[in-house]
């Protein structure tokens, strides 16, 4: 039997329903039932993580828990245990570091560079088993020659999936899958691709790069390359500094008092400023996203309560001063504090 030669091998590991399974470690009786980790439904809480039993009922992450409860009246809703989540994440990452350089993407997923290891296809199952044996957390893994394909592979047979895409089979593996599996292709880009009869990766890989460049600019030809499984990004063992810092707030009830909104905005900007100062960083670009606005910019005639408006602009001068950050909103006439 001919041994597969891997010029590069990258494994992507994703812990299945991480927040849910962390909860089940201490509450085994909750295993196998529709369950979500999230906020209270009467406080505009949202779902942070849903068990696979809940997902079968149409419940998804970021969904309001009130809606999730309507879909499943027997749904169990539990709060997030951040301390245990961080501890479990640390345990998993410690295990992964014994196999090779690790690039942690979030608390529940990471890339491992196995290029220096022999027979990486055997290591994929070994790593998956090691994580479950030592932490009792189920996970899915994907192995391929690039970060892009490895990540798609880890999601291919969830939960507890182990998908290996050998060298030379990347394009064939991606071909029948939706273009949405390619990083950088969101809902709107997928819609525009569908308008020119491109709905899966196989069609995108065969598309005319010049035509796509005319529609999407430089991202057009890049999408064609990614659809073929070509991705030269390497695993970065050291996490790069965050490129963005965000704050969000959901009121328990609709608020029409602009002074209340301005006060909350001031607190959020002050928090962002503190984070910037701790990182010795400065704000360069400001982005705001408002839903159900009370006052709209002059060019918007009407906004429904469920509408969402996003605006962004570059600062005249980089800053880490809270008041200046808050005044970035003045350009859009939403609300201003001085």
Q: At what angle do helices 209-216 and 187-195 cross, to 10 degrees?
A: 130
8 A C-beta contact, residue 65 and residue 40: yes
Beta-bridge partners for 311:
288
Torsion of CA 166, 170, 176, 181, to 10 degrees: 110
Q: Which DSSP string corresponds to 10-60? A: EEEEEETTHHHHHHHHH-GGGTTS-EEEE--GGGT-BEEEE-HHHHTTT--
List residues with catalytic annotation: 109
Q: Which residue has the tokens 């008041």?
A: 323
d(CA 336, CA 11): 48
Q: Which DSSP string corresponds to 263-289? A: HHHHHHHHHHHHHHHHTT--EEEEEEE
Cα 101 to chain centroid distance, Å, stands at 22
d(CA 135, CA 37): 19
Residues in Cβ contact with 312 at an 8 Å cutoff, skipping those fewer than 6 apart: 285, 286, 287, 288
8 A C-beta contact, residue 143 and residue 149: no
8 A C-beta contact, residue 131 and residue 137: yes
């Amino acid at each position: 039997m001919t041994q597969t030669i891997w010029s590069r091998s990258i494994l992507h590991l994703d812990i299945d329903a991480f927040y849910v399974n962390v909860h089940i470690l201490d509450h085994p009786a909750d295993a196998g039932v529709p369950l979500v980790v999230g906020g209270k439904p009467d406080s505009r809480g949202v779902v942070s993580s849903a068990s696979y039993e809940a997902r079968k009922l149409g419940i998804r992450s970021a969904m309001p828990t009130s809606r999730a409860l309507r879909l499943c009246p027997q749904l169990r809703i539990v709060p997030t245990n951040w301390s245990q989540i961080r501890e479990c994440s640390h345990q998993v990452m410690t295990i992964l570091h014994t196999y090779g350089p690790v690039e942690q993407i979030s608390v529940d997923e990471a890339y491992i560079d196995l290029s220096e290891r022999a027979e990486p296809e055997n290591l994929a199952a070994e790593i998956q088993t090691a994580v479950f044996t030592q932490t009792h957390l189920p996970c899915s893994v994907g192995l391929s020659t690039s970060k892009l394909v490895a990540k798609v592979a880890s999601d291919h047979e969830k939960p507890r999936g182990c998908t290996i895409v050998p060298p030379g089979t990347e394009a064939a593996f991606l071909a029948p899958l939706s273009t949405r599996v390619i990083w950088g292709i969101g809902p709107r880009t997928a819609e525009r691709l569908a308008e020119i009869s491109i709905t899966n990766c196989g069609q995108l890989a065969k598309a005319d790069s010049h035509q796509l460049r005319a529609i999407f600019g430089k991202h057009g030809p890049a999408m064609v390359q990614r659809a073929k499984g070509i991705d030269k990004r390497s695993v970065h063992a050291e996490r790069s500094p965050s490129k963005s810092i965000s704050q969000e707030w959901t009121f328990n009830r609709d608020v029409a008092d602009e002074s209340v909104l301005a006060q909350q905005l001031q607190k959020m900007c002050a928090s962002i400023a503190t984070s910037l100062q701790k990182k010795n960083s400065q704000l360069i670009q400001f982005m705001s996203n408002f839903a159900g606005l009370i006052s709209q910019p002059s060019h918007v005639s009407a906004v429904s309560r469920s509408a969402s408006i996003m605006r962004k602009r570059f600062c005249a001068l980089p800053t880490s001063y809270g008041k200046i950050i808050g005044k970035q909103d003045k350009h859009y006439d939403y609300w201003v504090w001085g």
